[in-house]
């Protein structure tokens, strides 16, 4: 196919703030997980799909169960199940792994 560009599971964007490897990053409505550290304004490669462990709201009782929609709280840079004011990023497939503030999320790539 002549018009194929790339698989799209990883995209390079400009970091909207300083990020560390493994941190969730929201650029407009595009969400991914940083593949490496990057300074604010520097290029960073984001993982757009797959299953990742991300910081989550520790008091979010709904995220104590799996298979619920996951949203990104960009103010606090963490996963929540609260839709209001947040960006949908995928689904929590296993909640509260590795302690009370990490959820396992299947990234959707884009909505």
- Token pair, residue 53, equals 């462990």
pLDDT tens readout for residues 50-67: 999 999 877 665 555 668
Q: How many CB atoms lie within 10 A of CB 37?
A: 14
Length of the chain: 111
Rounded average pLDDT over 15-31: 95
Domain boundaries, the chain: 10-107
- Token pair, residue 45, equals 């490669």
pTM listed for this prediction: 0.87
């Amino acid at each position: 196919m002549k018009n194929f560009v790339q698989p799209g599971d990883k995209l390079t964007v400009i970091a909207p703030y300083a990020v560390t490897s493994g941190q969730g990053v929201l650029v407009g409505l595009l969400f991914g997980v940083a593949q490496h550290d990057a300074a604010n304004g520097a290029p960073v490669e984001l993982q757009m799909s797959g299953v990742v462990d991300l910081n989550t709201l520790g008091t979010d009782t709904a995220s104590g169960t799996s298979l619920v929609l996951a949203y990104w709280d960009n103010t606090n840079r963490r996963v929540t199940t609260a839709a209001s004011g947040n960006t949908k990023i995928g689904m929590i497939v296993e909640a509260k792994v590795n302690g009370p503030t990490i959820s396992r999320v299947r990234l959707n790539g884009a909505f």
